[in-house]
Each structure stands twice: as C-alpha cells, then as structure tokens.
C-alpha cells in the first residue's frame, strides 16, 4: 500500500488502497513520488502495467500512464511536472510526457553500454541525467532525446547521481568506492 504522511502532525494523510496485497514473495513493493507542491502522488510497481497519479486531497486517480514496468525500483516527477520517469528492476528507463500521457521518446532511452542504475532530472526540466551499470553518466535533452554529455566516470556500476540545485554540477557515486563531480556541459546553459 502507499501512504502519504503529514510530517508536521505525524499523521497519515491518505492511503492508496489499490496497492495493498502482493500475492507472491518475489513481488516488490510499489514505489511512489510526490509532486513538490504536495498535491499529487504517482505510484508504480504493482503488477498492473500502469502508473496511477492521485490527487492527494481527494484520494482519487486523476491520470493513468500505460506501458510501464511491472516492477519498478525508482520513480520521479520532473521539477516542472512536465515528465514522469520510472526505472524498472531490470534497469530500463520509462519516461512519459504528462501533458499527453504518452511514453516520451521510448526508443531513445536504451543505453548501448548497459541499463540504468540511477536517473535525475535537471532543475530546469529540459534535461535528464542517467547513470549506467558500467560506469557511464549521460545527460539527455528531453525535447529531442539528444545526448549532450556522455562520459565514463566509474569502474563498475554508478550507484547514484544527483544534479546540484543550480544544475551546474553532476555528482555521482560508484561501486568503485569513488565519487565524481562533473561540471555540466556549457551547452546546457546557452540554450536558454
């Protein structure tokens, strides 16, 4: 089940009942992300091939996204709420345009150098950074899927990555025990 809590009062605000029961031991729990304004929550991961986006105030589904991973391990809204992304347990990236409700550039998010281990949206929501299972970080322009940065920064899996709040640095940590700080490519700042 998915619960939304009010951290000031330490009380449960709402409960998404659709995700209550898993019938086998090998199923993983659903994953969720809440919008920055706290009004919506997206849930993905139960064996239904859909993302359910709820209005928290009304506790009702307001949007359904199809063609999803059956089991997800990460999910996130872009900062401007234009996109929603999820990573499957099989290291595949799924990205949707929330205005249309359709998968966005589905053919562009296949890495030749293995699957995805982590993803992070740029603060301006025009780019998405991804990390691979074999040490690469990639920054993709979301309107057309072009890779504007692709660099090997770790030996082995990139465990996690994040863009700084100003979007100027990409920080990654790897299974090699190292962390990397990359200055984002100037192309990210000359396009407006």
How is 87-118 classified by DSSP, letter by letter? EETTS-EEEEETTTTEE-SGGG---TT--EEE
d(CA 65, CA 84): 9
Summarised one tens digit per residue, pLDDT across range 131-169 is 888 888 888 899 998 888 888 889 988 888 999 998 888
Helix then strand then coil, % of the chain, to nearest 5: 5, 50, 45
Displacement of CA 35 from its chain's centroid (Å):
12
Res. 1: pLDDT tops 70: no
Confidence of residue 127 (pLDDT cuts 50, 70, 90): very high
- Predicted local distance difference test score (pLDDT) of residue 19: 45
DSSP H or E stretch at residue 188 = helix 187-190
Find all residues with CB under 8 Å of 107, minimum gap 6, and list them: none
Res. 75: pLDDT tops 50: yes
Tell me how far CA of residue 82 lies from CA of 13, 46, 96, 166, in angstroms.
25, 23, 8, 19
Q: What are the backbone dihedrals phi and psi of residue 18, each rounded to the nearest 5 degrees, phi first?
A: -60, -20
* CB-CB contact of 49 with 64 (8 Å): no
Summarised one tens digit per residue, pLDDT across range 178-192 is 888 888 654 454 444
- Predicted local distance difference test score (pLDDT) of residue 81: 95
Q: What are the backbone dihedrals phi and psi of residue 59, each rounded to the nearest 5 degrees, phi first?
A: 55, 50
* CB-CB contact of 168 with 158 (8 Å): no
- Predicted local distance difference test score (pLDDT) of residue 46: 58
R_g over Cα of the chain: 17
Calculate mean pLDDT across residues 104-127. 79
């Amino acid at each position: 089940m998915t619960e939304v809590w009010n951290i000031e009062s330490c009380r449960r605000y709402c409960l998404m009942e659709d995700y209550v029961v898993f019938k086998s031991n090998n199923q993983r729990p659903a994953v969720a992300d809440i919008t920055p304004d706290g009004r919506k929550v997206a849930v993905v991961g139960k064996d239904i091939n859909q993302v359910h986006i709820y209005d928290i105030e009304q506790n009702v589904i307001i949007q359904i996204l199809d063609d999803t991973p059956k089991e997800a391990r990460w999910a996130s809204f872009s900062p401007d709420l234009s996109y929603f992304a999820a990573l499957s347990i099989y290291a595949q990236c799924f990205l949707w345009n929330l205005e249309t409700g359709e998968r966005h550039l589905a053919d562009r998010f296949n890495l030749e150098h293995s699957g995805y281990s982590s993803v992070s949206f740029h603060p301006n929501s025009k780019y998405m950074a991804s990390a691979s299972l074999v040490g690469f970080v990639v920054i993709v322009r979301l309107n057309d899927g072009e890779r504007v940065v692709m660099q090997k920064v770790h030996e082995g899996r990139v465990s996690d990555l994040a863009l700084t709040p100003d979007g100027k640095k990409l920080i990654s940590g790897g299974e090699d025990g190292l962390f990397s700080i990359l200055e984002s490519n100037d192309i990210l700042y000359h396009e407006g």
